[in-house]
Amino acid sequence: MVPPTRRVDSLAKSRGVRSNKRLIGKRANRTARRRKRMPGAAEEQMTETMKIEFVALTALPVQTRASPERADGEAGHARTLVIFMGKDFAFGAATRRLIGDRGEALIKKAAAAVKFKGKALTALDLIAPAGLAAERLVVVGTGGDGDSEDGEGQVKKNVPPQPFDHAGLGGFVMGKLGHAASATVAFDPPRPAKDPARAATEFTLGMRLRDYRFDHYKTKKNEDGEIKGRADIVLAVGEPAAVRREAKGGEAVAAGVLTARSLVNEPANILHPEEFANRVMALKKLGVEVTVLDEAAMRELGMGALLGVGQGSVRGSRTVVMRWRGTKNAKDSGKSKAKPIAFVGKGVCFDTGGISIKPAAGMEDMKGDMAGAACVVGLMQALAGRKANVDVLGAIGLVENMPGPEAQRPGDVVKSMSGQTIEVINTDAEGRLVLADLLWYVQDKFKPKFIVDLATLTGVILVALGQEHAGLFANDDELSERLIAAGKATGEKLWRLPLGAAYDKMIDSKVADMKNIGGRHAGSITAAQFLQRFVNGTPWAHLDIAGTGMGSPASEINQSWGSGFGVRLLDRLIADHYER
């Protein structure tokens, strides 16, 4: 991703389709020896999940009993107990039975001492609560009856209530419990959800996402006395069987998000294009078809724009195509006939800016310039993991944008797979060059119903939207509206920005069909206009995730540098509109 002051998308370089092989020689041999993976780096791509078991609320023993019992009725060590409370000491019926009059009186007394009122995402933490079996009682606030509140807890008038964020609640609880916690959660909120099974599934999803950490390169992991191991959670719900069925899908989505995060968090000396492609092969175990195109295959296809970006690096470029045929028609029909829905991701594994080199400050963050590709991989894992009834294609372009003797230069002209020529004004606007060939390849070969691409494309999208929304550009209103709705439902919010002929003229070139940047103004829009020239009329949406895919602010469900943004959003889009 390019700094906002550079006013370009996320880098660029493309000068023809020369092979990297000529520049390698002894230098490449030394590099190949350094490619040796650090122990555990690739193997930990998919983070070990926490253990969550579901039991009936009615099976939980009354906590005023003298001897602690496990929720499943077997004698065991005392566990942390988590319950939920609304305003004015509102508890669910099952919670009142659980804690009894003695527990309620204890909570009221402790709450008065610390002025705890049950505001949403606040907690009252009691260690060794008198008269209760649990060794620790955590009372989590859920707020009022859907009132919108400001930061001081005052109810806002004439503001429609927002849907309750059960994933955020789960993340908050996990944050209070800590890593490797052993706890029983009585999921009995004072305000019952319309769909209790989905609410519980979202809650567990939030717990799994919050529990994630990326620390396998740290050699000292327990200096603060943190407990080792994985969390062991018992979630007590009204209908355990229904929650178990739905939670399987939620666990698959969580695994996809965590895979995307880990890919973004990996250092670039470990996760270069070839290694990235190798890791995607793990999806075959889930039934995903995976095809890797090397430079020779891409050269034969005429992908001059993509190959040009990577020609300054000793690392070879790759395109990876993934296909999940979840529908019966897709499995039974000839592989060239079924029309999938398609997702395309930019995968610049490291972006120096090329000859138009970036400033040193902050360049280390450019290991995350492949967040779009990471999202597509995570999405394909999630869909396959939950056996989604849909036919989906994922395609990612993997390159390194490096300066070097063979690197493309400002002023070079490259020929894309579409046949259109591109004048490279700035080699740090490379992401669109990678996507140009990918988009054309996908629409031409697979004839998808629509394409959504994701890319950490422009630094200026942060100037416009900050880190609260990703930028959305589309040539199809229905697709755009569905994406926005999915973003609201998952909290991965989008904001639509315009496209138009006046913006398109800004990327016209005097020496080629187009140039790769449009000047000082409307940088994110002209980048999207550039991409639109390669979709050939296919319904299409572009998500600029430069502000949300990496380095995003910490939240209740993510404390990691890499966010995995887009996996939940696109999974929800598919679940709501495209599964049969």
* Count of the separate structural domains present in the chain: 2
Task: Say which range, 144-148, 262-266, 375-379, 397-401, has the weakest mean pLDDT.
Answer: 144-148
The fraction of the chain above a pLDDT of 70, given in percent, is: 84
Task: Say which range, 160-164, 438-442, 481-485, has the weakest mean pLDDT.
Answer: 160-164
Q: Which residue has the tokens 């079996």?
A: 133
Give the pLDDT mean for 395-400.
98
Decide: 259 and 355 in contact? Cβ < 8 Å: no
SS (H, E, C) 19-53: CCHHHHHHHHHHHHHHCCCCCCCCCCCCCCCCEEE
Decide: 473 and 17 in contact? Cβ < 8 Å: no
79 versus 278: which is more confidently predicted? 278
Task: Say which range, 21-35, 216-230, 294-308, has the weakest mean pLDDT.
Answer: 21-35
On whether both 500 and 423 belong to a single domain, the answer is yes
Residue 564 in domain = no
On whether both 456 and 336 belong to a single domain, the answer is yes
Instruction: Provide the CATH number for the domain around residue 522.
Output: 3.40.630.10
pLDDT at 570: 98
For residue 5, is pLDDT > 70?
no
On whether both 345 and 285 belong to a single domain, the answer is yes
On whether both 385 and 446 belong to a single domain, the answer is yes
On whether both 131 and 200 belong to a single domain, the answer is yes
For 186-212, write each residue's pLDDT tens digit: 999 999 999 999 999 999 999 999 999
Give the pLDDT mean for 160-187.
91
On whether both 83 and 117 belong to a single domain, the answer is yes
**3-class SS of residue 6:** helix
For residue 13, is pLDDT > 80?
no
- Please give the model's pTM, rounded to 2 decimal places: 0.90
pLDDT at 163: 76
Give the pLDDT mean for 333-341.
75
For 31-43, write each residue's pLDDT tens digit: 444 444 444 444 4
CB atoms within 10 A of CB 253: 27
Tell me which residues are annotated as active site.
358, 432
For residue 448, is pLDDT > 90?
yes
- The H or E element containing residue 452 is strand 451-455
On whether both 185 and 277 belong to a single domain, the answer is no
Residue 260 in domain = no
Largest CA distance in the chain: 84
Angle, vertex CA 42, rays to CA 37 and CA 43, nearest 5 = 120
For 550-564, write each residue's pLDDT tens digit: 998 999 999 999 999
pLDDT at 226: 62
pLDDT band at 222 (very low <50, low <70, confident <90, very high): low
Decide: 479 and 26 in contact? Cβ < 8 Å: no
30 — alpha (psi -120 to 50), left (phi > 0) or beta?
Answer: alpha
Q: What are phi and psi of 150, to 5 degrees?
A: -90, -175
Q: How many whole angstroms separate alpha carbon 138 and alpha carbon 95?
A: 13
On whether both 169 and 315 belong to a single domain, the answer is no
Residue 347 in domain = yes
Residue 391 in domain = yes
For 469-525, write each residue's pLDDT tens digit: 999 999 999 999 999 999 999 999 999 999 999 999 999 999 999 999 998 899 999
Instruction: Provide the CATH number for the domain around residue 78.
Output: 3.40.220.10
The residues, ordered by sequence, that sit 6+ positions from 489 with a Cβ below 8 Å of its Cβ are 163, 572, 576
pLDDT at 157: 54
pLDDT at 330: 75
- Tell me the average pLDDT of the chain: 88
For residue 51, is pLDDT > 50?
yes
Q: Between the CA atoms of 399, 402, 404 and 409, what dihedral angle is there, to the nearest 10 degrees?
A: 90
Residue 568 in domain = no
For 285-308, write each residue's pLDDT tens digit: 999 999 999 999 999 999 999 999
Amino acid letter for position 349: C
Decide: 449 and 424 in contact? Cβ < 8 Å: no
pLDDT at 144: 81
Decide: 147 and 160 in contact? Cβ < 8 Å: no
Alpha helices (runs of H) in 182-239, residue ranges in sequence order:
196-211
On whether both 66 and 84 belong to a single domain, the answer is yes
pLDDT band at 1 (very low <50, low <70, confident <90, very high): low
pLDDT at 145: 61
On whether both 400 and 460 belong to a single domain, the answer is yes
Per-residue tokens: 344? 């395309």
On whether both 322 and 400 belong to a single domain, the answer is yes
Q: How many residues does the chain have?
A: 580
- Residue 228: CA count within 13 A, CB half-sphere: 4
Task: Say which range, 109-118, 139-148, 335-344, has the weakest mean pLDDT.
Answer: 139-148
For residue 65, is pLDDT > 60?
no
Which residues are bridge partners to 451 per DSSP? 342, 540
DSSP states of 279-328? HHGGGGGGT-EEEEE-HHHHHHHT-HHHHHHHTTSSSPPEEEEEEEE-SH
Residue 173 in domain = yes
For 122-139, write each residue's pLDDT tens digit: 999 999 999 899 999 999
Q: Which residue has the tokens 């494309």?
A: 457
pLDDT band at 6 (very low <50, low <70, confident <90, very high): very low
For residue 576, is pLDDT > 50?
yes
For residue 544, is pLDDT > 90?
yes
Q: How many whole angstroms separate alpha carbon 438 and alpha carbon 229?
A: 42
Q: How many whole angstroms separate alpha carbon 458 and alpha carbon 542?
A: 12
Decide: 215 and 265 in contact? Cβ < 8 Å: no
On whether both 235 and 289 belong to a single domain, the answer is no
Q: Could you list the residue range(s) of the whole structural domain that residue 518 is in?
A: 4-41+266-547
pLDDT at 176: 96
Residue 555 in domain = no
Residue 168 in domain = yes
Which residues are bridge partners to 82 per DSSP? 138, 185
Give the pLDDT mean for 170-182.
94
